[in-house]
Amino acid sequence: MCGCQPTKLNDLESKISESINKRMIQEDVYQEGVVQMLLLGPGESGKSTIIKQIKQIFLGGFTKREIKEYREAVYSNVVEAIQTLIRGTKKFDLQLSNKKSIRFSKQLLKLPFNIRLTEEICKKIAFVYNDPVIQKVLLRGKEIQLIESTKYFLDRVELVGSEKYIPSTKDICKTRVRSTGISETLFAFQETKFK
């Protein structure tokens, strides 16, 4: 006869199983009453902007680290915007209106997206941006896939180049950061939990 006594392995498996079951029950209790939202849509449809607004309204805003990251994203958006406009002059077979704009535009096309913008660079960007030909290209922005915040940031580019520049909540919401994957944000509104 073979007496089947529980072995240490069976006891260990039993404890692990019990621990897993407890965690699952805790998770179920935690999830009870949580409204889950899934935001779907194509690029630049506003999914990330909604999350930024939720963070500002319900979670007290952004951390210093996040603000620093958005500052860098603003710089990137400005560089991408001015370079797209300059390239648009070629697409539409237009010539910038003066030699200084042409000289600055050649310099600006060489900027990497991850550059820290200075007052000097931003003055050049502002000069080129205010060229009447660039303004014509801006009006045809949909034809060259300008980021939606182009006008917003280029209208205030000299502020962005200031050493003391800190992105406002509006700047952060206007910033285009390509998001990939799934992000999860937890918040509560009127005693209802959202995820």
Is 0.85 topped by the overall pTM? no
- Residue 77 within any structural domain of the chain: yes
Q: Strand ranges (DSSP E) for the chain? A: 34-35, 187-189, 192-194
- Residue 134 within any structural domain of the chain: yes
171 pLDDT band, cuts 50/70/90, is very high
Q: How many domains does the chain have?
A: 1
- Residue 102 within any structural domain of the chain: yes
- Residue 56 within any structural domain of the chain: no
Distance CA 49, CA 45 (A): 9
Parallel, antiparallel, or unpaired: how do β-strands 34-35 and 187-189 relate?
unpaired
Nearest Cα neighbor of 130 from 106, 166, 174, 100 is: 100
Amino acid occupying residue 155:
D
| Domain range enclosing 91 | 67-174
- Residue 47 within any structural domain of the chain: no
CA angle 7, 11, 16 (to 5 degrees): 145
Domain of 110: which CATH number?
1.10.400.10
Q: Strand, coil or helix: what is 156?
A: coil
Predicted pLDDT of residue 30? 54
- Residue 133 within any structural domain of the chain: yes
Instruction: Tell me the C-alpha to C-alpha distance, in Å, between residue 9 and each of 4, 5, 95.
Output: 13, 11, 79
- Residue 97 within any structural domain of the chain: yes
Predicted pLDDT of residue 119? 95
- Residue 32 within any structural domain of the chain: no
Look at the chain and count its residues. 195
Predicted pLDDT of residue 20? 76
Does the pLDDT at position 158 exceed 90? yes
Predicted pLDDT of residue 173? 86
Distance CA 141, CA 43 (A): 16
